Every structure is written in C-alpha cells, then in structure tokens.
Amino acid sequence: MLFNSSIFFAFLAISLLLYYGSFKFRALQTWILLGASYVFYGFWDWRFLALILGSTVVDYLVAQRIQDSGDNKARRRWLWVSMAANLGVLSFFKYFNFFATSATDLLLLLGMQPSPMTLEIILPVGISFYTFQTMSYTIDVYRGKMPATRSFRDFALFVAFFPQLVAGPIERASHFIPQIEAKRRLSITQLEEAIYLIVYGYFLKVFLADNLGVQVNRIFEDPTKFSGLELGLGVIAFAGQIYGDFAGYSSIARGVARLFGFDLMVNFRLPYFAIDPSDFWRRWHISLSSWLRDYLYISLGGNRAGKVATLRNLVLTMLLGGLWHGAAWNFVIWGLYHGVLLVAYRLIGWPKKGWDEGWRRWPLWALMTFFTLIGWLIFRATSVDQILYFLAHFSLETSPNTTKIVGFLAIYWTPVLVFEWIQHRRRNLWVIFEWPLVVRAVILGLFVALTIAFGQRDSMEFLYFQF
Amino acid sequence: MNVFSPPEDKVTHKDLPREVPARSSRLGLTILIALATLIAFNIAAHQFLKHNGTNRGYRILTAKFDLVESAPKADTLFLGDSSCNQGLMPSVWEEHTGESALNLCTIGDITTVGDVWMLERYIAEHGAPKRVVIMHVYDVWHRHVNVVLLGKIPGPWGYWRESFAPLTLKAEQEFDIFLARYFPIWAENATLKRMLRPKINRFELWEDGFMPWYEPRPHSVARDSRGHLRLINKRKPRLSHTNELGLEALDQLQEKHGFALHFVRSPVSERMAASPKWKAFATEVTKKAEGHTESNATWHHEFFVFPPKEMENADHIITQVADDFTKRVADIVLEKNP
C-alpha cells in the first residue's frame, strides 16, 4: 500500500474516521491505530505479520526482564537475547544470501569449488527499520534511560505504527511511547503543519523523485549510450531522486502521524547544504545517523578511547551503516567511503573555525557536494564495474541530448532548490509559516498543482522500501 | 491526564535549520486560497492546452466540432477517422466534382457514434448535406468508443445521451469524462509533461477541415504494417456495439434527411495490401458493417494502396498524394451515385 495510491487514501480516511469517532476513549483509539497498522503492514505481505508480532513480543518481554532483574549480568544476558533475536532475524532475511554468495566467491578465488547455498528469501518490508527501533528500546531500558512499558498494546503500536513502519523515521521509544500514554489532540496549527508536511512530501516524491528517476534509470541501465557530462548529470539526477523519495516519504509519514496527534522526529534538515561530512550526517537520515551514534558508535567506545580508536569507531560505524542500507558490496563501499571522509576531515581539522561563515562556506559546500555525489554514484551503481566505468568516463563531453537532460533536471530540481534555499537562509524548515497567509496558501496550491500536472503518474515505489 | 504537545524542535548546531511551529492561523481560508490557486492553475492549463496542446487527437476533436459552427454549408461532408482527416481534400473534391465539401473527420477512437454526433450538429447548424462520405480504417470497426475523448468534444454535459446514437455510460466512465473535460492537469498529465521538453508543435488545420501532413515516415509505415498483420492473427473480424449503434443511427439520419451515404475504405500500405490474410480480414469486417446498414448506403470496396514513401503510417497518406487520392475516391463515389 504505497502512500501515493488511491487505496492508501481510502485506508487513511477510514482510519481517521474510526480514530476520531472514538476520541473519548483513548484506549480504543490506540487499539484502532494498532489494528490499522497491522492491516497496513499485512497489505504488503500478510505472511510477515507473524514476524513483526514475534519481534514485538520478544522485546516487550525482554525489556521487562531487564527492568525487573537486579543483577547486572542477568540484565546484560537479556539484552543479548534481544540483540540476537533482532539481528538474527535481520541477518537471515536480509543478509543470508549476500554472505553466502560472498563466501562462495571468496572460496572460488582461493581455488575451491563450493556448492552455492542461497535461498529464495523474500525481504520483509521495513524490517531494517522496525528491528532497529525495537533494539533502541531495549538498549534504552538497559541503560536506564526509560522504564519498560507495561502495556503490550502501547509497545506494539510503537513497533508497528503505520506511518513510519516501512521506511522510518526510526523513532525512539522515549519520544514515542509517552505520546501513546498521553491524551492526544490535534490543534488547528498542528493540522496546518500536517497538511504542509503531507503536501510537500508528495511534491518531493511525485514531482521531483519519480520524474528524475526516469532519467536515472535510463542512464544507469546503459551508461555507454551517454556522454561524459551526461553521466555526471545522471548522478545529480539520482541525488535528487533519493532525496525527494526519502525526504518526501519521511515528510508524508510525519504529516500523517500528526493527523493522529503524534509527533515523529525530523529526519532531514536540508542535507545538500552541508559543508562537511559531519554536517551532512547531522542533516541526512537523522533518525539512522543518531541511532548509529547512540547505539553503535558510543557502544564501541565513541571518542573516549583515544584518537586512533575514535577514528576506527567512526569507520566501523559508517561501514555498518552502509551495510544496513542493503546486502550488496556497493552499500558497504558507500558506508566505508563516508567513514573515510569523516576520518579525513577530522585528521585535517576541517572546517577550521570561521570557515562556515560568509563566502568561505562556498568552496566547502562545493567540495562536500562533490563528495556527496561520488557517494551517490557508489550507492546507485549496479556493480563495482559500473562505479569504475562512471569514474573513468566522467568528462565535459556533451552530445545532442545533453541540453535536453540539463533542461529536464533544471525543470524538476529548480522549484525544490529555490524553496529549500530560502529555508536554509532563514534557518527554518517551516519558513512557509512565516509568510503571509495568502502567500502560504498560494505556494501550497502550487505544490499540489505541480504534483498533479507534472508528477510521474505511474509512480515508482519508494526507494527506501528496499531497505 | 497529561496532554501531549510536540516539543520545541531543538538542534545541536547553530547552522542547522529547525522547525519553527506555525502560529495560529485561519486554516479554512488557507485551504480555500490554495484550492483557488489549484483551480486557477487548472484553468490556465486548460486554455493553454486548447491552443498549444501536443495531443493531436484531442486537438482534432475540439477543432473539428468547433468547425461545424464556423464553416459554411457544404454539399458533401467527409466523416470518419484520421485517415480521412489527412486523406480527403475538400478543395480538390470541389474542383473535381463541382460539389463543395467540408472535412469533418476526426479520430477512430470515437467510432461511428462520433460520425453521428458530428452529422447531427452539422444538420442542426446548416441543414442536411447532399452527400456524406464516411471513411474508416478497417480496425475501427471492432473498437469501443474511448470515453475519455468525449470530454474533449464541445457540447452540453450529457450530450452523448441525447442523440440518434445515445451512449449509456457507467458512473466511473462519466467521471473520467468529467476529469478529461474540466480537470486537464490530471487528465492530460502526460501531455503537460511532454510539453516541458521543447518540441515543434505540428498541429495545422485548414479552413475546410483538411489536416495536412507532409513528412513521409517509411519506418512508421513498416512498423505499423507489421503491427496490423500481427493484430489480425489475434482477433476475429467483428463489429463493436458502439459501431452497431452508430451505423443504425446513420441509417435513420439518412432516411430522415435523404442525403446520399457512402462508405469508402481508408488508404492502406503496400505491405498490408499484399497480405491475402489481411485483405480477407478487412473484407470480412467491412461486410459485417455493411450488413448492419440498409441498402440506401453505398459501400465501396476498392482498396487504395500506397507505397511507404507516400505515407505517414500504415493508413495515413501525406498531403502530396492526397489530391490524387481525393480524385480517385470522388470518381468511385460519383460513378456509383452521381
């Protein structure tokens, strides 16, 4: 059930009716939302409902055992049960074939003849998101940051809440569960914020991402048909596609959650205005980068064990972050690439104090944008060979088609870049609410009009669903 | 019981943008103005597409139905699909036969019910013509009307129900017509996106309704011909319900107004004409159509064959040979019914 499908709109309308129809009964509202979330997930594949339920039951019980155990060893053992269960499920469904194939390839390289051992495994939608979400809960309970919830219903909703179930943001229990327990209300301003988030989300997804995706697919399907400059434009198009797709989805998820009175964390803060790798990761997929920082980087020792260990922890965290994105070597390389970038900037001490102000931002920004685009090439490429092909063939060489591709990118990128440039200048993601009512309303109307008139009608599935 | 309010969006670095919440606003007014913007955009798109749209089919329909009012009365009307739209030249017909003519051919997807609607409007405006010549490609006979096109034909809402060839449509089909007529930013999304890429707009229509096409496209002819030859292997010759309706209505109109009614074949590529299987298929389906009309209609069974260098596709000729084609058709029509 994609967000940009008519069945989703019907589902959302019915869910809202039932939810607000029982506004006097908070518990019933929670049950309705939970039921709706399972219906939503079951629509993707009903067979995996058992998996998400199983994950929910395990972590619900484990968290209580952690809390109730007086003994630190017992608490740690229970935590390992949660980690093993979640990572075990994730490893099997997502990484089994990857590791099996890689091991086979390695043995072949060493001159052996192993028999291939892959399975026909279907990747459950959203598994990377909800397993990380539940692990953050048990870790937070273990660390004493929050008490274990005694309500299975509330915990189940935290795990399965449909707006963010299949592609994030990866919520924190300490932020979300109190919202379930509290009385929910939707003020007029929150409703307006929800509408804006949803409208802008669809604009990013349907207008920007899906249209650029057409060009991206063409170029990456057969790069030999395109000139050197066009290959570069293809990477720029992908930068737009992945941002529009993922930030668009997050925005819709947050807007829909807000319609039910829930606040989800901000997941993107204008990532293409970053001036260095740390800045980029404070702006891109924030729910994942903060998860990796809080539960992996800090657990590895963070920056507390000396410079070398800090750099090692950075690289390892980013490498695993890359692997999270997918069971393929290009994701691992992408993660490693960003880890190396972080380390490199730290070692040379960039940006120096004062460099992030005035005109000095520009060269820093240009360099970071270049690095980001190389990263996206690694991310999108279908093989290591393709990465090398692109790198070897980038040039300023044009063809008769180049102007068309430039025009195409300009048409779809420009409205987003202009709007987000204004957000950047005002340091306000909701700059639209600073504007007079008429201006705000006209902009909203134009977003809707452009989405309908120029949006890709046979819409592509959200990219991040494959993770 | 505590009530949850979204916390202030705090950021760790001064450069990071944050979400500054909306102040209380007049949401209703905001939505109204946004809707008004959407409607204004839609109206602008509607006007733009009317005169600059690249969807040739839509523009032909609108232009030809508008032409009924603006054109003078003519002795002979040409009705049918786009093969006739580009094939029969009224000026040549008039010079060759002495009868004035008007080309009101449109596109095949509105089938013969479209011919009926066009004829009804012409008669209402100018009175009955002396002669009506109808030309359809062989594969129009099995088609059902494409309801979305009804949104592009000018006329009061529901005109398709009040005709000698009335159509009964389902609610969802009427909704599609509504979108096609009043919400082009939705219905013509593909055309609008194509128009973002600069392209030469080739739409040209003469005052007498003839649409010229000058560029031969042998590749298209070859590809189309192959497509048609494959098509006849998958299909049996049959007449659709809307065409049955259209033919019966044409009969009634002919009986009521007494004009001479002629059916002629469209041009066809050499490759298709060389196929005995295709010829048999085309003959069979035309026979079925003929069987659905009274003897007052004259069916002309001659095949008009053209080489690829004289065609745009497998059933559309280029303007350079349209005058000869028009004369051949005129000779055949007048020979049988002077």
User: pLDDT, tens digit, for every residue of A95-142?
Assistant: 777 777 777 777 777 777 766 666 666 777 888 888 999 999 999 999
> What are the pLDDT digits (tens) for A349-385?
878 777 777 788 889 999 999 999 999 999 999 888 9
How much is the pLDDT for B298?
92
Q: Among partner residues A189, A211, A448, which is closest to B25 by beta-carbon distance? A: A189
How much is the pLDDT for B50?
81
How much is the pLDDT for A234?
95
| Percent residues over pLDDT 70 in chain A | 96
Across chain A, mean pLDDT equals 89
- Helix (H) or strand (E) run with residue B272 in it: helix B270-273
pTM (2 decimals)?
Answer: 0.86
**Strongest mean pLDDT among A337-351, A449-463, B9-23, B266-280:** B266-280
Residues 246-285 of A with CB under 8 A from B: 261, 263, 266, 269-270, 279, 282-283
Q: Give Dmax over CA atoms of chain A in angstroms.
A: 73
pLDDT-based confidence at residue B80 (cuts at 50, 70, 90): very high
A453, two tokens: 């008139």
> What are the pLDDT digits (tens) for B244-255?
999 999 999 999
pLDDT-based confidence at residue B227 (cuts at 50, 70, 90): very high
Distance from CA of B176 to the nearest CA of A (A): 15
How much is the pLDDT for A34?
95
CA distance B63 to B50: 9
How much is the pLDDT for B1?
46
Distance of CA B285 to the CA centre of its chain: 21
How much is the pLDDT for A459?
56
Distance from CA of A327 to the nearest CA of B (A): 32
- Helix (H) or strand (E) run with residue B134 in it: strand B131-136
Give the single-character DSSP code of A428. B
Whether residue B270 contacts residue B318, with contact meaning beta carbons closer than 8 Å, is answered with no
Q: Among partner residues B9, B17, B38, which is closest to A423 by beta-carbon distance? A: B17
Q: Is the pLDDT at A87 greater than 60, yes or no?
A: yes
Coil, helix or strand at residue A311: helix
Residue B166's φ and ψ, nearest 5 degrees, are -75, 140
Q: Do A190 and B6 touch (CB under 8 A)?
A: yes
| CB contacts < 8 A (A, B) | 137
> What are the pLDDT digits (tens) for A395-442?
998 888 898 899 999 999 999 999 999 999 999 999 999 999 999 999
Could you tell me which residues of chain B have a Cβ less than 8 Å from any Cβ in chain A? 1-4, 6-7, 9, 11-13, 15-27, 29-38, 41-42, 45, 185-186, 189-190, 192-193, 196-198
User: A375 exposed, middle or buried (CB, 10 Å; 0-12, 13-18, 19+)?
Assistant: buried
Q: Do B38 and A193 touch (CB under 8 A)?
A: no
Distance from CA of A48 to the nearest CA of B (A): 32
* Residues of chain B neighbouring A355 (CB-CB closer than 8 A): none
Q: Is the pLDDT at B119 greater than 50, yes or no?
A: yes
* Residues of chain A neighbouring B34 (CB-CB closer than 8 A): 441-442, 444-445, 448
> What are the pLDDT digits (tens) for A161-212?
999 988 889 999 999 999 998 887 788 888 999 999 999 999 999 999 999 9
Q: What is the mean pLDDT of residues B307-318?
A: 95
Give the single-character DSSP code of A203. I
Q: Beta strands B311-313 and B316-317: pairing type?
A: antiparallel
Give the single-character DSSP code of B163. S
pLDDT-based confidence at residue B38 (cuts at 50, 70, 90): very high
| A404 in B contact zone (CB under 8 Å) | yes
Q: Among partner residues B3, B23, B193, which is closest to A189 by beta-carbon distance? A: B23
Angle between helix axes A127-142 and A49-68 (nearest 10 degrees) is 10
Distance of CA B58 to the CA centre of its chain: 6
pLDDT-based confidence at residue A44 (cuts at 50, 70, 90): confident
- The DSSP result for B37-94, as a single string, is HHHHHHHHHHHHHHHH---HHHHHHHHHHHHHHHSPP-SEEEEESHHHHTT--HHHHH
pLDDT-based confidence at residue A46 (cuts at 50, 70, 90): confident
Instruction: Choose between B164 and B185: higher pLDDT.
Output: B185
Angle between helix axes A228-259 and A210-221 (nearest 10 degrees) is 140
> B199: nearest CA in chain A?
A404
Q: Is the pLDDT at B297 greater than 80, yes or no?
A: yes
> What are the pLDDT digits (tens) for A322-358?
988 888 888 889 999 999 999 999 888 878 777 777 7
Q: Do B17 and A179 touch (CB under 8 A)?
A: no
Q: What is the mean pLDDT of residues B157-171?
A: 87
Q: What is the mean pLDDT of residues B23-47?
A: 91
Q: What is the mean pLDDT of residues B200-225?
A: 89
